[in-house]
Amino acid sequence: MTHELAVLGGRPVRDTAWPLWPRATETAGRALAEVLGSGRWTVSGPYQGTESVEQRFAKAYASYTGTAYCTPTTAGTTALTIALQALGIGPGDEVLVPGLTWVACASAVLFAGATPVLVDCDPRTLAISADAARAACTPRTAAIMVVHPFCNLADLDAFVALSAEKGLPLIEDSAQAHGARWRDRPVGSYGVVGCFSMQQSKLLTAGEGGAVVTNDAELHSKLEQLRLDGRRYGPAPIPGRLELVEVGAVQGRNFCLTEFQAALLLDGLVRLDAENEERARTVKVLVDALRGVPGLSLLAHDDPRVTRRTYYNAVLRFDLAEFGGSSIDAIASALSTELGAQTSPVYIPLNRHPLLRADLADSRLRTQATVDAISSARLPVAEEARRTCLTLPHPLLLAGADGVADIVAALGKLRGHAHELAGLPQTRSARAF
């Protein structure tokens, strides 16, 4: 018997490469070469008579996000970590965390010694639900962490109001939303702190990296020391000497970007808005094209308060019955093989995430109560999203109309060969294809 699906040996829909991400530009190469010959590869290297690239990026990104200060870090996880520390969150505290997000949101809270309280998501956007967050508040709640996931934003009107009503700091995790705007104001600027990731898959990337933005000068001083081993930039640098001074007010760790990473981020920031517009144009084409494929819809992205939407990925919602009753994992595996690029279900809800198992944690960082709080959380909307939703990574959205044609053709092929889909392994595997 000859199989049609590529995952079973048939010919794939696409046999050409997708746009490469991250993009290696000539300007990035020149910027890296300048750092290479500068005599300063990190902020803890000697001052060479010019402002560090890292500080140039920090000022540029603060301006871009409409905030007063930006503290670059090694990763989005460390950005969340020092944000929690700077806010004084620790043992005995609870932090509201979306139940459908990357595991670092919960693990950063655990590393602070606090308890993540998992909150279900809004079924239209898959962002944390403001109503569910309100219901989850207790006298021990010390902060609210909102995440802007996929191509959507959390309801910032509702969360700013809830934060003010309860007297709780709002932490914005905007790791997937570089450049997005709510009521024409940049995300990350609504919370007392905004945290970003610049890991390889992100819309603005240096391979690894992160940042915390804030308008609070005192918080900024703490954040600087928390990522610089208790140091911060001094007022009058002298060429040939270290630019950092030992403040001694906060005990920190080394979570600093290199000058090379900062150079890549400065280069990427110049292109960010144009690349976001490029993806948005592709999504418009995709929305129209999907109208011809029964059993499929794009995750709702029509809130007029989102005045600039960015697409870390596009989320497809499946009527599984139209695909032979196959699981979203089987569909993701087959679609990945047809396209030659990884497509994945949305995150595993954190109440059953394998990376939050009790045996993986430092026993000093969590009690049995924290383990029970995670595993016993009820997240029915998140569970349904994991059962029915699949993500297309943003590099596929840089391929324009030709890429859309291949995506739609692959989806139509899977639906037309639902009987073959049903014969695939239906459970989650370590590999997508």
How far is residue 413's CA from residue 408's CA, in Å, rounded to a whole number? 8
67 with 213: CB under 8 angstroms? Answer: yes
Within 275-388, strands assigned E span: 296-298, 306-308, 313-318, 344-345
Active site residues: 202
- Per-residue pLDDT, averaged over 129-157, amounts to 98
- Residue ranges in 146-206 assigned as alpha helix (H): 156-166
Q: Pairing mode, if any, of strands 193-197 and 244-246?
A: unpaired
> pLDDT of 238-280, one tens digit each?
999 999 999 989 999 999 999 999 999 999 999 999 999 999 9
Question: For residue 341, is it within any domain?
Answer: no
SS3 151: coil
Question: For residue 306, is it within any domain?
Answer: no
Question: For residue 346, is it within any domain?
Answer: no
Neighbours of 79 (CB within 10 A): 33
Peptide bond before residue 22 is cis, with ω within 30 degrees of 0: yes
What are φ and ψ of residue 362, in 5° steps?
Answer: -65, 120
- Per-residue burial over 348-386, b if 16 or more Cβ lie within 10 Å, else e, is bbbbbbeebeeeebeeeebeeebbebbeebebebbbebb
How far is residue 401's CA from residue 313's CA, in Å, rounded to a whole number? 16
Please determine, for residue 6, whether its predicted confidence score (pLDDT) is greater than 60: yes
Question: For residue 364, is it within any domain?
Answer: no
48 burial (CB, 10 Å; 0-12 / 13-18 / 19+) is: middle
The pLDDT assigned to 42 comes to 97
203 with 254: CB under 8 angstroms? Answer: no
The pLDDT assigned to 302 comes to 86
Q: Which domain holds residue 102?
A: 27-269
Dihedral sign of CA atoms 77, 213, 93, 346 in order: negative
The pLDDT assigned to 432 comes to 33
pLDDT over 70 percentage in the chain: 96
Please determine, for residue 420, whether its predicted confidence score (pLDDT) is greater than 60: yes
What's the pTM value of the predicted model, to 2 decimals?
Answer: 0.95
The pLDDT assigned to 365 comes to 60
C-alpha dist (Å) from residue 249 to 13, 223, 228: 59, 11, 12
List the single range of 69-73, 218-222, 377-381, 422-426 with lowest mean pLDDT.
422-426
Please determine, for residue 431, whether its predicted confidence score (pLDDT) is greater than 70: no
370 — pLDDT class (breaks 50, 70, 90): confident
Residue carrying structure tokens 């006298």: 139
Please report how the helices 76-86 and 104-111 are oriented relative to each other, as an axis angle in degrees rounded to 10.
Answer: 40
The pLDDT assigned to 359 comes to 67
- Per-residue pLDDT, averaged over 196-207, amounts to 98
> pLDDT of 285-298, one tens digit each?
999 999 878 999 99
301 — pLDDT class (breaks 50, 70, 90): confident
Contacts of 362 (CB under 8 A, 6+ apart): none
- Per-residue pLDDT, averaged over 229-241, amounts to 94
What does the mean pLDDT of the chain come to? 94
- Per-residue pLDDT, averaged over 25-31, amounts to 97
Please determine, for residue 97, whether its predicted confidence score (pLDDT) is greater than 70: yes
Question: For residue 35, is it within any domain?
Answer: yes
- 371 versus 64: the higher-pLDDT residue is 64
Closest CA to 143 of 110, 121, 124, 117: 117
Residue carrying structure tokens 């590869």: 41
> Residue 367 gets which letter from DSSP?
-
203 with 272: CB under 8 angstroms? Answer: yes
| Total count of domains within the chain | 1
C-alpha dist (Å) from residue 236 to 41, 239, 240, 241, 404: 20, 10, 13, 11, 54
Question: For residue 150, is it within any domain?
Answer: yes
335 burial (CB, 10 Å; 0-12 / 13-18 / 19+) is: buried
Question: For residue 376, is it within any domain?
Answer: no
Please determine, for residue 371, whether its predicted confidence score (pLDDT) is greater than 70: yes
The pLDDT assigned to 430 comes to 36
How far is residue 347's CA from residue 293's CA, in Å, rounded to a whole number? 24
The pLDDT assigned to 361 comes to 62
CA dihedral 158, 160, 165, 168 (to 10 degrees): 130
The pLDDT assigned to 314 comes to 96
Q: Count H helices and E strands in the chain, helices first.
A: 13, 16
**Which two structure tokens, joined as six digits, stand for 99?**
């139940």
How far is residue 150's CA from residue 314's CA, in Å, rounded to a whole number? 7
The pLDDT assigned to 397 comes to 98
The pLDDT assigned to 433 comes to 25
The pLDDT assigned to 428 comes to 65
- Per-residue pLDDT, averaged over 389-400, amounts to 97
Closest CA to 253 of 89, 91, 86, 90: 86
How far is residue 431's CA from residue 212's CA, in Å, rounded to a whole number? 33
CATH number for the domain including 201? Answer: 3.40.640.10
Question: For residue 119, is it within any domain?
Answer: yes
- Per-residue pLDDT, averaged over 367-394, amounts to 91
> pLDDT of 45-80, one tens digit each?
999 999 999 999 999 999 999 999 999 999 999 999
The pLDDT assigned to 2 comes to 54
